[in-house]
Each structure stands twice: as structure tokens, then as C-alpha cells.
């Protein structure tokens, strides 16, 4: 088993992620192997860097097939693999799948969803996701998550709404940080290695 995992890991590190997925698929189907979560995370991490959403969906299917259902970090990787102008539509599909599977969201989930909103320039969905987070996961609301929403508002063409949100942050006695100002100008980058 270790030799098999080492081979897959070597393929991923050499940049042959497609070949690695193929080996994993064949090993599950023919050999009944059950790859570790860490091996799946390694593959998904590369797919995030490449914004390869379809391959990330294939990896989640392989996880289910190997009796290792996708967990919160796996879904967060999948969300971060969503890019381009349709990123939020794809992210919505992943979020629905996650909810149907009964997998709990965490700060990384919302951060990745805001990243998809940013790529899509979908300020309304960012506000909707933020409202969902405030209602259902208030312990996850931080200055960082506010800053992410501010960044989406600005790149989505709603800077005046971002300014209103900064005032709301101040009214709530949130301590603004160095990220708040760049977020207001749409300069805040979203890291593909955000919290899982």
C-alpha cells in the first residue's frame, strides 16, 4: 500500500496530477485500495492551484467510491478550485453537495465561497453568503470575513456599499485592521491556500 501511495505522491509532485488521479481511480476500482485523506488533499491542493474544478469533482467522486467521503477540507479545496466568471455558480453546486452530504461548514468554507464571489464579481451572493454565515455561524464572523465581503463589493462595482459596510463594522465595534483599507479598494487577494 505504501509503495502505491508513494507512486501517486511522486506523480503529483512531478506535476502529473492527471496521471495520479488515473492511478488512484484504477487502484480503487481494481485493487479496492482506500487512499488516505492526506493523499486526496495533496491532489486537491494541486487542482486548486490550477483552478481545475472538473478534476476536483472527479476526486470527490473517487473519495466516495473508496468509502472515504469528502470532508470539510475536501469541499473547501473544491470551492477554491472554482474560478472565472462562473465561479460562484460552480461554488453553489459544491455548497449544495456539501449540505446534502451533511458536512459542516467552517471558516475556510466561507472564505472559499467569498473567493468564488470575487472571481465572479457577484457582490449579491457575497452579501447572501455573509448573511447566512451571520445567521447560522456567528462565531465564524471576523474582521477578515468582513474584509473579504468588502473586496467583493468593490470588484463587483459597489464601492458605495462597501463604505456603508465599513461604517456598519465600526458601529458594531469591530476592530478594523490593515486588511480593511485594501479590501475597500478591491486589492485584497484571495489566497488559494486559505484556511481549510
| CA gap 47, 64 in Å, rounded | 18
* pLDDT score for 189: 52
The SS3 of residue 32 is coil
What sections of the chain are H helices per DSSP? 2-13, 17-31, 37-49, 53-65, 72-80, 87-100, 107-120, 123-136, 143-155, 159-171, 180-184
Residues 177 and 134 in one domain: yes
Same domain as 83, residue 45: no
Q: What is the C-alpha separation between 21 and 61, in angstroms, rounded? A: 11
- What is the reported pLDDT for 179? 77
Based on the domain organization, do 101 and 161 belong to the same domain? Answer: yes
* Other Cβ atoms within 10 Å of 1 Cβ, number: 11
- The angle that helices 107-120 and 87-100 make with each other, rounded to 10 degrees, is 150
Residue 183 has a pLDDT of: 61
Say which CATH number the domain at 134 has. Answer: 1.25.40.10
pLDDT of 97 reads 96
Single residue among 68, 99, 119 that ends a domain in this structure: 68
* pLDDT, position 19: 96
Residue 192 has a pLDDT of 41
In terms of residue numbers, what domain contains 28? 1-68
The total of structural domains in the chain comes to 2
Q: Are residues 105 and 159 in the same domain?
A: yes
Query: pLDDT averaged over consecutive 10-residue blocks of the chain (196 residues)?
Result: 82 95 93 90 95 94 94 97 92 96 96 96 96 95 93 93 90 84 58 44
Which helix (DSSP H) or strand (DSSP E) does residue 82 occupy?
Answer: none
Rounded to 10 degrees, what is the CA torsion of 34, 37, 39, 42?
Answer: 150
**Residue 78 and residue 51 share a domain:** no
Looking at the fold, whether 92 and 185 belong to one and the same domain comes out as yes
Last residue of a domain, one of 23, 38, 68: 68
Does 31 lie in the same domain as 118?
no
Claim to verify: residue 22 and residue 83 sit in the same structural domain: no
Residues 23 and 81 in one domain: no
Judgement on whether residues 124 and 64 belong to the same structural domain of the protein = no
Question: CA-based angle 108:114:116, to the nearest 5?
Answer: 105
* Residue 94 and residue 152 in one domain: yes
Same domain flag for 146 and 184: yes
Amino acid at each position: 500500500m505504501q509503495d502505491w501511495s508513494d507512486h501517486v505522491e511522486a506523480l503529483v509532485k512531478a506535476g502529473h496530477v492527471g496521471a495520479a488521479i488515473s492511478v488512484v481511480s484504477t487502484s480503487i476500482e481494481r485493487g479496492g485500495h482506500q487512499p488516505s485523506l492526506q493523499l486526496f488533499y495533496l491532489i486537491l491542493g494541486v487542482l486548486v492551484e490550477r483552478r481545475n474544478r472538473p478534476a476536483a469533482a472527479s476526486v470527490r467522486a473517487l473519495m466516495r467510491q473508496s468509502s472515504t467521503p469528502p470532508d470539510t477540507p475536501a469541499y473547501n479545496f473544491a470551492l477554491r478550485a472554482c474560478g472565472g466568471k462562473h465561479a460562484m455558480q460552480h461554488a453553489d453546486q459544491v455548497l449544495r453537495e456539501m449540505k446534502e452530504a451533511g458536512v459542516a461548514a467552517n471558516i475556510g468554507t466561507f472564505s472559499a465561497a467569498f473567493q468564488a464571489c470575487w472571481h465572479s464579481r457577484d457582490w449579491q451572493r457575497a452579501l447572501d453568503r455573509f448573511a447566512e454565515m451571520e445567521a447560522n455561524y456567528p462565531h465564524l464572523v471576523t474582521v477578515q470575513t468582513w474584509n473579504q465581503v468588502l473586496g467583493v463589493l468593490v470588484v463587483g462595482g459597489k464601492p458605495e456599499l462597501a463604505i456603508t459596510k465599513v461604517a456598519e463594522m465600526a458601529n458594531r465595534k469591530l476592530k478594523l485592521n490593515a486588511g480593511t483599507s485594501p479590501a475597500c479598494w478591491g486589492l485584497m487577494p484571495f489566497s488559494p491556500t486559505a484556511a481549510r
